[in-house]
A = this chain, B = another copy of it.
């Protein structure tokens, strides 16, 4: 199983609408990707590791797929539509990472 993490970099004046992200964007992704998407998770940044430190990412979305191939096949045809929704909730630049789920 693999995880696609979309991590939105934090900054002092970042815009991020967490309600839109959870209630509109993630359901849109789930609807478009269908059965290929096994699980979704959303983390909303609270703090960094040191006292008073801001979180590195304002929010992170994690999506689980069977394999990289399954993800690419499901995501490719909808990539444009999904990416076009980003300005509706954020001006942050997402860092995208594909990981193997070890535990």
A residues near B, CB below 8 A?
2-3, 5, 7, 18, 22, 26, 40-50, 55-57, 59-60, 68, 94-103
Contacts and interface: CB of A to CB of B under 8 A. Distances in A.
B22 A97 contact: no
Report, nearest first, the 7 A-B pairs whose CB atoms are least far apart.
A49-B96, A43-B99, A42-B103, A42-B102, A47-B98, A44-B100, A55-B97
Contacts of A94: 49
B44 A97 contact: no
B43 A101 contact: yes
Contacts of A43: 3, 5, 97, 99-102
A68 B46 contact: yes
In the complex, which of the residues A47, A101, A103 has the most CB atoms of chain B within 10 Å of its own CB atom?
Answer: A103
Nearest to A49: B96
